[in-house]
Amino acid sequence: MLLKKLSEAFGPSGLEGEVRNILTEELAPFVNEWTRDALGNLIAVKPGTRGPKVMLAAHMDECGLMISSIDRSGLLCFRKVGGLDDRVLVSKYVVIGPKKIPGVIGAKAIHLQRPEERTQVIPLNGLYIDIGAKSKEDAERLIKLGDYAVFGTEFGHLSDTVVKGKAFDDRSGCAVLAEVLKEQYSMPIYGAFTVQEEIGLRGAGVAAYAIEPDLAIVLEGTTCSDLPGSLEHGFCTGMGEGPAITAMDASVITDKRLVNELLRLAKENNIPVQFKRSITGGSDAGRINQTKAGVPVVVISVPCRYIHSPVSMLSLVDFENTIKLVKLFLESIDKGGFAL
């Protein structure tokens, strides 16, 4: 399963090569032309003979950690790469560097903590990665400064329709984009698998500048808030309630024409959809939208519980409906049923 391969791949911001290789291999029978820019964006080019130039984007990178120092006992100090919550780090299994050295994020045992420490989130400088090394020299034989670490989570099924894994933000979007690129269209399609979204939407702007699309569709894995204690006014999306369409977030106001066409197609084809109701956070759409003279954009997301954590969950029904909706949208444009 492509989603499994992508979820388990090692691909923090700035080191997306393993994800890039999986996608290139998966799409080799369907894509004849590829470009790769200086930042590492992978762009699948499907030339067309008529119609608008359409960019579809999904980011390959995930949040991770970077080794910043090694102390004399062989424990690894680290810094965060992307928006990870300190509260989810302690005691988690990780893999480090090109050899995927196993380790565990450790902290002072509760028995040794002062009373006031037990009521506080353990700060980053109170955490370390333990690889079982006996000394700094022992650790340095396996790890070097600047090596990345990511959560070592295995993909798996929780039920027939729900799966768990890491990096569903945005490997779910990458998997959706890959499935869409297996179809044929008359219009030019540019499938951009972007880099470094989690540290500032860096790859998307470069890719859009090169492509100069007439419109763009950004495919994401977004936050769910269908959990106990979630306040209604802060609600975002619900898992199992269909693809989530963004009207606005902190980075972009999406094009109303594109949004309305998606809603029309969903209604006519009995595809459940929902709006992403939270306006916090952003996506590659924010950078693409402001490229050159401006690009009309829309964001379609797979709702995912617990993103930016060691283990996320998503509904395969939502995932498949996202693929269906994107394909219908492209078919509508291709047949002239929708035009800007």
Residue numbers annotated as active site: 197
104 touches 93 (CB < 8 A) = yes
- Phi (first) and psi of residue 12, to 5 degrees: -70, 165
Give helix 168-180 / helix 17-27 axis angle, nearest 10°.
Answer: 20
Q: What is the 3-state secondary structure (H, E, C) of the chain?
A: CHHHHHHHCCCECCCCHHHHHHHHHHHCCCCCEEEECCCCCEEEEECCCCCCCEEEEEECCECEEEEEEECCCCCEEEEEECCCCHHHCCCCEEEECCCCEEEEEEECCHHHCCHHHHHCCCCHHHEEEECCCCCHHHHHCCCCCCCEEEECCCCEECCCCEEEECCHHHHHHHHHHHHHCCCCCCCCEEEEEECCHHHCCHHHHHHHHHHCCCEEEEEEEEECCCCCCCCHHHCCCCCCCCCEEECECCCCECCHHHHHHHHHHHHHCCCCCEEECCCCCCCHHHHHHCCCCCCCEEEEEEEEECCCCCCEEEEHHHHHHHHHHHHHHHHHHHCCCCCC
